[in-house]
């Protein structure tokens, strides 16, 4: 029998489908409603929407890219959780 293929994860970690669904539902619940939207907007404003100029130190860019990656994971899980409610 061929190995069971695990679904794509928002964070690249392989998990069973039920574990992925549980995480997505959790994130959708935590960021539910207008307060959740405000929190997501704040996270986006300090990460994904930040712009750096050519004078930016490499360490700052690496830090910002890590923040962007985490913000994208959070947004992705919230979206997936909301779509499967």
Residue 67 covered by a domain:
yes
Domain count, the chain: 1
More confident residue, 48 or 1: 48
**Cβ atoms 33, 22 nearer than 8 A:** no
Q: Could you tell me if residue 10 is inside a domain?
A: no
Task: Please provide the DSSP assignment of 19-75 as one string.
Answer: HHHHHHHHHHHHT-HHHHHHHHHHHHHTTTT----TT--HHHHHHHHHHHHHHHHHH
The pLDDT tens digits for 52-76 are 999 999 999 999 999 999 999 999 9
Whether the Cβ atoms of residue 67 and residue 36 lie closer than 8 Å to each other: no
Looking at the domain assignment, is residue 25 inside a domain?
A: yes
Residue 47's domain comprises 17-83
User: Within a domain: residue 37?
Assistant: yes
Angular region, 51: left φ>0, alpha ψ -120 to 50, beta rest = beta
């Amino acid at each position: 029998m061929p190995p069971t293929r695990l679904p794509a994860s928002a964070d690249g970690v392989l998990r069973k489908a039920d574990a992925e669904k549980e995480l997505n539902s959790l994130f959708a619940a935590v960021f539910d409603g207008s307060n959740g939207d405000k929190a997501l907007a704040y996270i986006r404003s300090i990460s994904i929407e930040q712009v750096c100029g050519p004078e930016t130190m490499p360490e700052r860019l690496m830090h910002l890219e890590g923040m962007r990656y985490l913000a994208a994971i959070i947004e992705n899980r919230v979206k997936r959780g909301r779509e499967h409610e």
